[in-house]
Structures are given as structure tokens and as C-alpha cells.
Amino acid sequence: MLHKLMTCGLCMIVAWTAAVPDPTSPDPQTPRPIDAGESVFLEDLTWMEVRDAIAAGKETVIVATGGMEMNGPYLVTGKHNIVLKGTTQAIAKKLGNALVAPIIAFVPEGDIDPPTFMMRYPGSISLTEPTYQALLTDICASLRANGFKHIVLIGDSGGNQDGMKAVAAKLTRKWTDGKTKIVYIPEYYNYGNVATWIAEQGIKQVDEGLHDDFPMTAVMMSVDPASVRTEQRIKANRFRINGVDLAPQEKTIALGKKIIDYRADVAAKAIQTALAK
């Protein structure tokens, strides 16, 4: 009886496999039958659109790392990923020849067992450093196989930086055929400069120790107001951070867009310099 069940199960697997089209069967050079969509994000494009964009000169791809961590009582755990949605799009548009890989949401956030650092807070997800670097390596190798000539690594959190630097160095040593250049851009992680820029705009903060600040909140509001719990904070009379009022919303969102533009400008110039070397 057991043998018959196993045999029937095998038949079902074979039949199902035969019924599913081979995903590699289309000719990779099949012409695109419709106009292309408008996006710089790979996950928002079809494979044909990616192929044609690379052929048209978009040979640079941005690989950005964010994180899942505690960010105080008001900001969602995916804070860095939301910021990167805004900054990577702006960087790609400034470069003019770049697309953006799916934002890497999982990075080192502390030891898992026993929990340390951010892993002491629910919602945080951590990778070990070897896993993080292996993930980055495979993603970059995949993008190289896609045909991208330039791979750019940027990170929006402090714990991400060393791993990206190490992976870029390792793959630079490995990829000696001139087919693909990979660079790590430390200039993107410029929150100190952003704080100085904000102070120059006349905005004075007093650190409340919440792993949150005005520039971060303003950028997130410009991408997704719900990610900073705008409505709930207004209702609770807590629509401020570090002594800075977030109302009116329109003014804070406008400043958030300016911060994105500032960070994107710094990063785009650093990328152009690195790729020109």
C-alpha cells in the first residue's frame, strides 16, 4: 500500500511537472510586445523591460541595504527601507543610466540567541555577518549575470557598511575580466552631514534618545506619512520629535524631499567619481 502511494505520488509530480511550462523556454531575445512601464525599480519591471533598459544604456544597478529594527515608538521597523525607496529612486534619476535592485531589508542587527543590540526588540530581524555577505555576494553575482556593467553598493544603516565594503573588495579581486565593476559608496551614509544641513536651515533639535530625529521623520513622511504614524500622533498630541514640531505636514514633507535630493546629489557625485577611476 505504501509503495502504491509513493508510486502515485511520483506520477503526480511527473504529471504536474509536464503541465507547467518550462520557464526557460522563451527565447531571451524575444521582442517586447508592448510599451515599457516607467520605473527604476527592478521588481516593478518585466524581464523584457530590464533587458531592453540595459541594452539602451542603463548599465548601472544600485544595491541598497536597509534593515528591520527598533526605531522608537513612532517609526516603523522598516525605517531604513522606506528611506531607501526615496533616496535610491532619486539617485538613479540623477545618474540617468541606473536601475535599482530590490532593497535588501535583512542585515546584521545584533546576536540572535541570546538577543543583543536591536534583537532585544520585537520586529527586528538579524543576519549573521557571513550570511549577510553571502547574500550580498549572490545578489551582485546575479546582477552581473543579468548584464549590468556597474554595481553600486550603498547602505542606510551603520551596521551594514563593513559587509558591503568587504564584498565589494572581494568581488573586485575576483572579477578581473573587465566585464563588471563593483563599488561601495561610503559617502551615501552621511547622516552627520544631514544633521549639519538641517541645523543650517534653522532647525534646532534636542536629542530625546528615541532612535529617531527630524530629518529621518521628514524623509519618511515624504515617502509614506503612515510610516511615522502621522494620524495617530496628531490625535495623541505627539506630532513632534526632538523638540521640533512636524506640523504643518506639507512643510515637513517638503523638507523631507529636499533632504532626499541633498543625499542623492552627494551619492550620485560619489558614484560617478568611483566609477570613473
Q: What is the CATH number of the domain that holds 114?
A: 3.40.50.10310
Cell, residue 275: 566609477
Residue 10 belongs to some domain of the structure: no
Residue tagged 541570546 (cell numbers): 114
Alpha carbon distance 147, 180 (integer Å) = 8
- pLDDT tens string, the chain, 277 residues long: the values are 544 544 455 455 445 455 566 666 889 989 999 999 999 999 999 999 999 999 999 999 999 999 999 999 999 999 999 999 999 999 999 999 999 999 999 999 999 999 999 999 999 999 999 999 999 999 999 999 999 999 999 999 999 999 999 999 999 999 999 999 999 999 999 999 999 999 998 999 999 999 999 999 999 999 999 999 999 999 999 999 999 999 999 999 999 999 999 999 999 999 999 999 8
Residue 85 belongs to some domain of the structure: yes
Alpha carbon distance 119, 255 (integer Å) = 32
Cell, residue 219: 524623509
Cell, residue 223: 515617502
Residue 59 belongs to some domain of the structure: yes
Cell, residue 160: 551594514
Residue 69 belongs to some domain of the structure: yes
Check whether the bond before 73 is cis (ω within 30° of 0). no
Q: How many domains does the chain have?
A: 1
CB atoms within 10 A of CB 31: 7
Cell, residue 93: 534619476
Give CA separation, 42 vs 99, 160, 222, 276, in Å: 7, 22, 22, 24
Contact 249, 230 (CB under 8 A): yes
Residue 2 belongs to some domain of the structure: no
Contact 221, 253 (CB under 8 A): yes
Q: What is the pLDDT of residue 277?
A: 87
Residue 25 belongs to some domain of the structure: no
Residue 33 belongs to some domain of the structure: no
Alpha carbon distance 269, 26 (integer Å) = 39
Domain that holds residue 91: 38-276
Residue 190 belongs to some domain of the structure: yes
pLDDT per residue over 198-245, tens digit each? 999 899 999 999 999 999 999 999 999 999 999 999 999 999 999 999
- In 149-240, which ranges are continuous DSSP H helix? 161-174, 191-200, 214-223, 230-235
Check whether the bond before 248 is cis (ω within 30° of 0). yes
Q: What is the pLDDT of residue 62?
A: 99
Q: In this structure, what DSSP letter does residue 64 have?
A: E
